[in-house]
Amino acid sequence: MTEQEIFDKVAAILEDRFDLDKTKITNDLNFKNDLEADSIDIVEFVIELEDTFGAEIPDEDAEKIQTVGDAVNYIKEHMITKE
Partner 1 sequence: MKIAIDAMGGDNAPQAIIAGVQRARDEFDDTTFLVFGDEAQIKPLLTDNTRIEIHHTTEVITGEDEPVKSIRRKKQASMVLAAQAVKDGTADAFFSCGNTGAVLASGIFIVGRIKQIARPGLMPTLPTINTDDGFNLLDAGANASSKAEYLYQYGRMGGFYAEDVRGIKNPRIGLLNNGTEYDKGDDIHKEAYQLLKADKAINFIGNVEATNILNGPADVVVTDGFTGNAVLKTIEGTASAMMHILKHNLLESGLKVKIGAGLSKNAFKKVQAKFDTARYGGAVLIGVKAPVVKAHGASDERSVYYAMKQIHEMVAKKTVAKVITYFSSSKTDSK
Binding site for partner 1 (CB under 8 A): 19, 36, 38, 40, 43-44, 47, 56, 59
Nearer to partner 1, 12 or 47 (CB): 47
Backbone φ/ψ region at 55: left (φ over 0), alpha (ψ -120 to 50), beta = beta
Terminal CA-CA length for the chain:
7
User: Which is it for the CA torsion 79, 64, 60, 13, positive or negative?
Assistant: negative
User: What residues contact 64, with CB distance under 8 A and at least 6 apart?
Assistant: 70, 74
Q: Which of 38, 41, 61, 70 is catalytic?
A: 38
Nearer to partner 1, 1 or 17 (CB): 17
Residue 21 bears catalytic tag? no
Least Å from the CB of residue 11 to partner 1: 17
Nearer to partner 1, 5 or 56 (CB): 56
Q: Write out the catalytic residue numbers.
A: 38
